[in-house]
């Protein structure tokens, strides 16, 4: 028997846990703990434990498919690549667009970015970040300089106070949840602000259960109290920030008094005062996730959290700072790699003439690269497909499932139908492949090398553990074959992942000092790592912020989004989110045995009693323009008047219920009513 333990990192969430893939006689048989990583120290959540299961699924794509007479039929690689190259050659740059993938490696994203800008000559490249945490990129950078977490996951355990808002970390980022508990065990106070009493909230020392969508009021109320109680860090403010006076004037308005905020948010005034005191202690860390980023005013929410930490001087030391918990395993990396309409790698702006010249010269395409002008975001791609019919004609989607993940799935389906030519490159025949003209089989994380970058800027390796199914190929190799068939073999001539990495690092200042050799000995390096003798950066802004003058900026927030109004006929506020077992559109987790539960609807105990609904009853949820049935779950975890349903099930596309109201599921909500099905 040949037994191998191959070190790798998890393909699910942005925590970036490490484990070994266990391979027996060439077949993947499980995962084993790997304690070397400071992120998870050998522990895993249920998704990590089951991460090997989907790899050998009989539903994996094994051969290219080409649509003939309406049917997707098996084809050879040669046929598929030749067809794609011929088609893409026919279109103008403005007619092509690309979706890259935070499920794939940095190398795959870099090659896709080079393909879009160098071969298709378009800046219309984006990925699902836009539906999730896009506001992090610009908003945290507005305040501090870098579009990323300020501290590190291991350091969270050193905090004296942890404030979690809009994140169900114990379910969605469980190994970060573990650090919160470690801090709590060492004496830290743990505060959780969330409209639902989630698993995460239920373990907090102080739970602020506020009305969905009233975040700005709540945060301004806390800062109002900090100022009233004179708990601000005057030295830090004077030495390291700009904009304090204007900010102070706004926050001290009577509108943000504890009593007024209590009234608007539904949180008792004394809890707001207590929170202010605790957060002003030296050593408070803030954690947030999609409850904050998926609102119409997400930028203001993020500015407010940055303001809070600047006000108390809680940035730049271990156990302080602002910690966005990013969703997909490599969403940080996909952004870092420039899979976005506005940036090349490392957030170098496409409109900047010097940057444009740098990439044009380094890549040396004889016919130039995309112009120095930003492209379409994913939402603009879909909109323009529908409204300006004919402008976009061809699309290349790698590792994304917009037919289920788009903000409005009917809109996405209608948009994809407008395309003349669609290529889908995935590991499964996902729902989006149903619209494809060509489907290309890719390898998954267990079958590839490469790197990914977790939510704390930690660059880590994937190592190939087993052979891919059938003829599946690495994402970047497929892209390189298409580029070669279109006449650009020279620019896509790498032989290994390491060669791709060396090229991307040479063009990306924060990655400049990272290499495969260094990752082999250090295991992981956090960017910025500007040179080969730099050990990486665990904590940003220890001395200076990454802004032009080195000072952070107070950006007062006043705008608040509105929920859909409830009335007698539609008395409930309906909201959606995630559950621990499933992943986004479920394309991978629904293929693993980990509790493939059916869909359910949560309702508060008091409301259920009035409607004579018990756990297990079949119920119908009705909004102004859609209805859906589910099994009731009666719980104290949500406020009376609120309903919740998880968003992972294709069979129950809750998106049809939330579309057009909220930017994505998870926050705020729509007015709804509920009926028992007898």
**Positions that interact with ligand MGD (CB under 6 A):** 13, 101, 103-104, 128, 131-132, 165-169, 171-172, 194-196, 198, 212-213, 215, 289-292, 327-328, 398-402, 404-405, 425-428, 430, 442, 444-445, 475, 575, 577-578, 580, 582-585, 587-588, 647-648, 655, 664, 666-668
Member of 45, 83, 97, 132 binding Mo ion (CB under 5 A): 132
Complex with ligand MGD: residue 195 or 469, whichever CB lies closer: 195
Answer yes or no whether residue 247 interacts with ligand SF4 by CB under 6 A.
no
What is the rounded CA–CA span in Å between residue 483 and residue 487? Answer: 7
Contact between 438 and ligand SF4 per CB under 6 A: no
10 binds ligand SF4 (CB under 6 A): yes
**What's the CA dihedral at 498, 502, 505, 507 to 10 degrees?**
-140
Of 429, 388, 386, 425, nearest to 406 (Cα)? Answer: 386
- Minimum Å gap between C-beta 19 and ligand SF4 is 7
Could you tell me the smallest distance in angstroms from the CB atom of residue 639 to ligand MGD?
A: 10
Cα distance between residue 475 and residue 470, in whole Å = 15
- Smaller CB separation from ligand MGD, 176 or 274: 176
Name the packing angle between helices 77-90 and 475-485 (round to 10°). 60
Residue 16 or 513: the one with the smaller Cβ distance to ligand SF4 is 16
For residue 20, what are the β-bridge partners? 7, 32
Alpha helices (H) in 145-294, listed in sequence order: 153-156, 169-172, 174-185, 199-202, 215-228, 234-240, 244-251, 258-265, 269-279, 290-293
- Residue 102 in contact with Mo ion, rule: CB under 5 A: no
Contact window for ligand SF4 (CB under 6 A) among 41-49, 121-129, 309-317, 500-508? 41-49
Of 43-51, 127-135, 156-164, 400-408, which part binds ligand SF4 (CB under 6 A)? Answer: 43-51
Nearest to 244 by CA among 590, 645, 552, 586: 552
Question: What are the structure tokens assigned to 667, written together?
Answer: 């926050």
DSSP category for residue 395: E
Cβ at position 581, least distance to ligand SF4 in Å: 11
Q: Strand 394-398: give its sheet, edge to edge.
A: 71-74, 65-68, 438-441, 421-426, 394-398, 96-99, 125-126
Q: Does the protein bind Mo ion through residue 441 (CB under 5 A)?
A: no
CB of 675 to ligand MGD, least distance (A): 24
285, 314 in Cβ contact below 8 A?
Answer: yes
User: Alpha-carbon distance 641 to 250, whole Å?
Assistant: 32
Residue nearest to ligand SF4 (CB): 48
Is 333 near ligand SF4 (CB under 6 A)?
Answer: no
**Selected binder of ligand SF4 within 7, 12, 107, 317 (CB under 6 A):** 12
Our finding on whether 45 is near ligand SF4 (CB under 6 A) is yes
Asked if residue 671 binds ligand SF4 (CB under 6 A), the reply is: no
Please tell me the distance from the alpha carbon of residue 55 to that of residue 510, in angstroms, as a whole number: 33
Nearer to ligand MGD, 314 or 430 (CB): 430
Q: Least separation, in Å, of the C-beta of 168 and ligand MGD?
A: 4
Compute the half-sphere exposure of residue 281: CA atoms within 13 Å on the CB side of its CA: 18
Strand segments, DSSP code E, in 413-504 are 421-426, 438-441, 451-453, 458-461
Least gap, CB of 319 to ligand SF4 (angstroms): 20
Span near ligand SF4 by CB under 6 A; candidates 37-45, 70-78, 335-343, 524-532: 37-45
404 binds ligand SF4 (CB under 6 A): no
421-426 and 96-99 strand pairing = unpaired
Q: Is 15 in the site for ligand SF4 (CB under 6 A)?
A: yes
The residue count for binding ligand SF4 (CB under 6 A) is: 14
Q: Which residue stretch of 7-15, 59-67, 431-439, 646-654 sits at the interface with ligand SF4 (rule: CB under 6 A)?
A: 7-15
**Two tokens, residue 79:** 């046929």
Closer residue to ligand SF4, CB minimum distance, 5 or 79 = 5
* Helix orientation angle between 258-265 and 215-228, rounded to the nearest 10 degrees: 160
Site for ligand SF4 in 160-199 (CB under 6 A): 173-175
Closer CB to ligand SF4, 406 or 584, in the complex: 584
Does 327 help bind Mo ion (rule: CB under 5 A)? yes
Work out what residue 17 binds among Mo ion, ligand SF4, ligand MGD, none; the CB cut-off runs from 5 to 8 Å by kind.
Answer: ligand SF4
Residue number with CB closer to Mo ion (165 or 474): 165
**Residue 175 binds which entry of ligand MGD, ligand SF4, Mo ion, none, with Cβ cut-offs from 5 to 8 Å by kind?**
ligand SF4
Query: Mapping DSSP to helix (H, G, I), strand (E, B) and coil, where does residue 343 land?
Result: strand
580 C-beta neighbours (distance < 10 Å), count: 16
Count of other CB atoms within 10 angstroms of residue 266 = 15
> Does the protein bind ligand SF4 through residue 13 (CB under 6 A)?
yes
- E strand intervals along 10-137: 18-24, 27-33, 65-68, 71-74, 96-99, 125-126
Nearest distance from C-beta of residue 57 to ligand MGD, angstroms: 10
Strand partners, 18: 9
Task: Locate all alpha helices (DSSP H) within 489-615, ordered by sequence.
Answer: 497-507, 516-522, 605-610
Tokens standing for 632?
């009731």
Does the protein bind ligand SF4 through residue 47 (CB under 6 A)?
Answer: yes
Q: Distances in Å between the alpha carbon of 629 and those of 391, 528, 614?
A: 39, 49, 15
Residue 48 sits in the site that holds ligand SF4 (CB under 6 A): yes
Q: Pick from Mo ion, ligand SF4, ligand MGD, none: which does 491 bind, CB < 5 to 8 A by kind?
A: none
Select 13 or 601, whichever has its Cβ closest to ligand SF4. Answer: 13
Rg over CA atoms, the chain: 25
Separation of first and last alpha carbons in the chain: 57
3-class DSSP state of 52: coil
In the three-class reduction of DSSP (H, G, I as helix; E, B as strand; rest coil), residue 628 is classed as strand
Q: How far is the CB of 648 from ligand MGD (least distance, A)?
A: 5
CB atoms inside a 10 Å sphere around CB 466 = 20
Q: How far apart are CA 583 and CA 54, in angstroms?
A: 12
- Residue 484: exposed, middle, or buried by beta-carbon count in 10 A (0-12, 13-18, 19+)? middle
- The CB-of-16 to ligand SF4 minimum distance in angstroms stands at 6
Binder to ligand SF4 among 16, 333, 510, 669 (CB under 6 A)? 16
Stretch that binds ligand SF4, among 9-17, 314-322, 469-477, 530-538 (CB under 6 A): 9-17
17, 149, 427, 446: residue in contact with ligand SF4 (rule CB under 6 A): 17
Where does this chain bind Mo ion (CB under 5 A)?
132, 327
Where does this chain bind ligand SF4 (CB under 6 A)?
10, 12-13, 15-17, 40, 44-45, 47-48, 173-175
């Amino acid at each position: 028997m040949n037994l191998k333990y191959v070190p790798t990192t998890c393909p699910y969430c942005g925590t970036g846990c490490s484990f070994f893939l266990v391979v027996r006689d060439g077949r993947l048989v499980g995962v084993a703990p790997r304690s070397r990583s400071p992120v998870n120290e050998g522990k895993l959540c249920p998704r990590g434990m089951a991460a090997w299961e989907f790899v050998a699924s009989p539903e994996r794509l094994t051969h290219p498919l080409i649509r003939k007479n309406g049917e997707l039929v098996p084809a050879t690689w040669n046929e598929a690549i030749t067809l794609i190259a011929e088609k893409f050659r026919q279109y103008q740059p403005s007619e092509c667009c690309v979706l890259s993938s935070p499920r794939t490696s940095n190398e795959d994203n870099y090659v896709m970015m080079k393909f879009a800008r160098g071969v298709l000559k378009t800046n219309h490249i984006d990925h699902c970040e836009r539906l999730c945490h896009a506001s992090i990129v610009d908003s945290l950078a507005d305040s501090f300089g870098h579009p990323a977490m300020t501290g590190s996951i291991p350091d969270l355990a050193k905090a004296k106070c942890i404030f979690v808002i809009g994140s169900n970390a114990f379910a969605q980022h469980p190994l970060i949840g573990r650090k919160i508990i470690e801090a709590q065990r060492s004496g830290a106070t743990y505060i959780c602000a969330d409209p639902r009493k989630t698993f995460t909230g239920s373990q907090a020392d102080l739970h602020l259960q506020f009305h969905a969508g009233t975040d700005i009021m709540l945060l301004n109320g806390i800062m109002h109290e900090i100022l009233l109680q004179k708990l601000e860090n005057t030295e830090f403010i004077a030495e390291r920030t700009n904009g304090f006076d204007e900010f102070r004037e706004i926050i001290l308005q009577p509108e943000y008094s504890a009593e007024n905020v209590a009234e608007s948010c539904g949180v008792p005034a004394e809890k707001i005062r207590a929170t202010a005191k605790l957060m002003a202690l030296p050593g408070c860390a803030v954690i947030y996730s999609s409850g904050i980023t998926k609102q119409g005013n997400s930028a203001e929410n993020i500015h407010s959290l940055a303001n809070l930490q600047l006000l108390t001087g809680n940035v730049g030391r271990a156990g302080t700072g602002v910690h966005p918990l990013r969703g997909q395993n490599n969403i940080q990396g996909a952004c870092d790699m420039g899979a976005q309409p506005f940036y090349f790698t490392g957030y170098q702006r496409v409109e900047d003439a010097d940057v444009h010249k740098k990439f044009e010269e380094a890549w040396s395409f004889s016919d130039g690269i995309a112009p120095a002008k930003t492209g379409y975001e994913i939402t603009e791609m879909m909109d323009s497909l529908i409204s300006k019919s004919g402008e976009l004609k061809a699309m290349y989607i790698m590792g994304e499932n917009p037919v289920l993940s788009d903000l409005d799935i009917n809109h996405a389906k209608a948009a994809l139908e407008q395309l003349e030519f669609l290529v889908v490159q995935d590991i499964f025949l996902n729902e989006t492949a149903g619209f494809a003209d060509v489907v290309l089989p890719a390898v998954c994380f267990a079958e590839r090398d490469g790197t990914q970058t977790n939510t704390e800027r930690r660059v880590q390796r994937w190592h190939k553990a087993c052979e891919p199914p059938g003829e599946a190929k690495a994402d970047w190799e497929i892209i390189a074959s298409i580029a070669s068939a279109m006449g650009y073999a020279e620019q896509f001539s790498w032989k290994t992942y390491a060669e791709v990495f060396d090229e991307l690092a040479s063009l990306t200042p924060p990655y400049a000092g990272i290499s495969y050799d260094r990752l082999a000995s250090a295991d992981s390096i956090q960017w910025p790592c500007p040179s080969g003798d730099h050990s990486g950066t665990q904590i940003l802004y220890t001395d200076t912020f990454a802004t032009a003058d080195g000072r952070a900026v107070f950006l007062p927030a006043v705008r608040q989004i509105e929920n859909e109004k409830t009335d007698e006929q539609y008395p409930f506020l309906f909201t959606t989110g995630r559950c621990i077992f499933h992943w986004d559109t479920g394309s991978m987790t629904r293929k693993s045995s980990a509790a493939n539960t059916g869909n359910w609807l949560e309702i508060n105990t008091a409301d259920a009693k009035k409607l004579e609904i018990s756990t297990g009853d079949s119920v119908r949820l009705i909004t102004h323009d859609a209805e859906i049935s589910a099994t009731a779950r009666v719980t104290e975890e949500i406020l009376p008047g609120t309903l919740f349903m998880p968003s992972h099930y294709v069979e129950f596309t809750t998106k049809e219920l939330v579309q057009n109201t909220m930017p994505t599921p998870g926050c705020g909500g729509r007015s709804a009513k509920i009926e028992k099905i007898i």
